[in-house]
Structure 1
Amino acid sequence: MTVQTMEIMDVVDSLPIDMKLELIDHLLQSISPPQSEVDDAWSAEVERRIDEVESGKVKLIPMEEVRERMRKRYRK
């Protein structure tokens, strides 16, 4: 940890809880993409997967086959 970071941490430690919570919220928002970007990314992923299924690039596995594989894999 740098000296500057340690100094910031000392200041943060002295803050009242409500200010710490505001700071936490600000920091999280500054490092996390906005929810709309996440939603857009998931929408694109869903569309990509649908396209792969519809084009025949990937083959779906019937549910009963999935269950049987899981039973075999996790049988005690």
Structure 2
Amino acid sequence: MKLSDAERADVAACLFASLDQETVDRLDPAWEAEIERRLHAIDNGKATMIPWQDARQRIFGNGQVSRTHKS
């Protein structure tokens, strides 16, 4: 993936926000802690925010999600 850690956190936060409460209640504690860490970084201004149009272009590019992992 070509997104930075902060950009991936933004996507994760958006996805998490879209879950209903029943789903949130079933989250693995480690995953819930990671989501909270990322949301905290966003709330404290430590995450770099980018416009959705830019994130969408980075995620989907030419319409296909990249499966290449950033090293």
TM-score, normalising length from structure 2? 0.40
Larger radius of gyration: 1
Which has the higher relative contact order, 1 or 2, with Cα contacts under 8 A spaced 6 or more apart?
2
Greater percentage in helix: 1
